[in-house]
Amino acid sequence: MTDQEKILWKKIAAELELTDKVNVYKMYAQRMGVFLEKGILHVICPDGHALGVIEKSFRQIIEKTVKRELDAATVVSFTVGKIERELQDKPLGTEVNRTPLFTIESAPAKATATDSNGTGLTAKYKFENYLMGSNNQLAYAVAKAVAERPGEAYNPLFIHSGVGLGKTHLIQAIGNKILTNRPGVKVIYSTGEAFMNELIEAIQMSKGRGQYTVNKFRNKFRSADVLLIDDVQSIAGRETTQDEFFHTFNTLYMAQKQIVLTSDRPPKDFVNLEDRIRSRFGSGMIVDIQPPDLDMRIAILRNKRDESLDTVPNDVLDVIALAITTNVRELLGAYLQVSTLAKTTGSELTKDFAAKALGQRLADDRKKPLNLHQIVKAVCSYYSVKMDDVKGHRRTKDLVIPRHVAMYLIYDLTKTPYMTIGEYFGGRDHTSILHGIRKVEDELKDVAKTRQDVTNITQTVYAS
């Protein structure tokens, strides 16, 4: 931007930061700018969705600022385009070439193909509708870099976070962006569980029929230019699947093909995963996604409201954002519950109404009947261990941790007596159960990983 445009944009930005929708502006600020030409001020937005939100929310403020700072006859136009950061960030007084400053998209990009082309991707997952904040900024930036230069930047890429924080959206956005930029590239998306099940089916079908179906399975994954595996933790503890995955990984990595993995935990925290695979996971870029902070949660809710054209007051959204701190999925679920309940009952959407509705939601979740088997099954799935081993008497580290967490969750979520828990865990006495529970309680105060594990498992239990 020219010096004049930079100064004008700073003044516009200052006005936008004083509005009650500052979080909406901040979501797109780093990818916005202005371009002044022949009496028209082009407000450059990163995509069509952003254009709609920015124009709807801020047109009057921007026009008022432009009228004050420029000729009153200047027309404000909102345009989809791309601001080149290296030029946008040049200091005042630096001459720039006007021609490549931004590119205006004349028409919306064609929707990315979905499962019909065999990629496994879903078209709705794009970078353009992925909300970026301080909790996921690094993951977003690295994912964008991978999508722009697959096989060159950050290979392999390993993204980890708790449930409902956007891992699937981000990994699929990578695939969809690559297909948009390079239609001929072979992109394969799969979950860890689907990879395992497809391998098992191939092995079963191969019995008595040679190796044709296994070879077909291998060719599918090992001929990929981009391999995206979501929830890769599912392969832990499965020896045959791990062996197949290891060789698939090596084949693609040696051929400089892009590999992107997501998981609910970092590589170092895997249990029952072969060291050779763990080392491969850690050989590239590892990024995490943290739960959204309050400002981000408010921004997400306001974005959802604007997309849905709902009339939900800001103070009601604040109540929801304060009440739901776990993940985006729960946050949007709470929003839907509050707004739908108000519509169906004809009630006015007030802070008190939202608080009452959310209080009932949280109470209903906690009233959901749970049993010991259900909790232990969730723990075993999370740590990739067998239920019989956790209930047994072996005291290896990979079993003791899940065992103590299971004891703690059973007591915390069901208030089952120590003696009954002991009977369930192979006839242990109540002092052993008390020891395990207190150990977890102590770690919850000081060990971030234990807190995250317990939170993830609890969410899984109530979601099942």
User: Which residues are annotated binding-site positions?
Assistant: 164, 166-168
- Whether 76 and 37 have beta carbons less than 8 Å apart is answered as no
- Whether 177 and 125 have beta carbons less than 8 Å apart is answered as no
CA dihedral 404, 405, 407, 409 (to 10 degrees): 160
Q: Which amino acid, 141? A: A
**CA atoms in the 13 A half-sphere facing the CB of 423:** 4
Dump strand ranges (E) for 264-307.
285-289
Complete DSSP assignment for 140-188? HHHHHHHHHSTTTSSSSEEEEESTTSSHHHHHHHHHHHHHHH-TTS-EE
Structure tokens at 196: 């395992």
- Whether 4 and 28 have beta carbons less than 8 Å apart is answered as no
**What whole-number distance in Å separates Cα of residue 202 and Cα of residue 288?**
33
Phi, psi (rounded to 5 degrees) for 277 = -80, -40
**What whole-number distance in Å separates Cα of residue 325 and Cα of residue 386?**
32
- Expressed in percent and rounded to 5, the helix, strand and coil fractions of the chain are 60, 10, 30
Which parts are annotated binding residues for ATP? 164, 166-168
Strand partners, 41: 36, 76
Burial of 86 (0-12, 13-18, 19+ CB in 10 A): exposed
Structure tokens at 103: 């590119």
Dump strand ranges (E) for 13-119.
33-37, 40-45, 75-83, 102-104
Q: Please enumerate in sequence order all residues whose Cβ is within 8 A of that of 92, keeping only pairs 6 or more positions apart, or say none.
A: 3, 6, 7
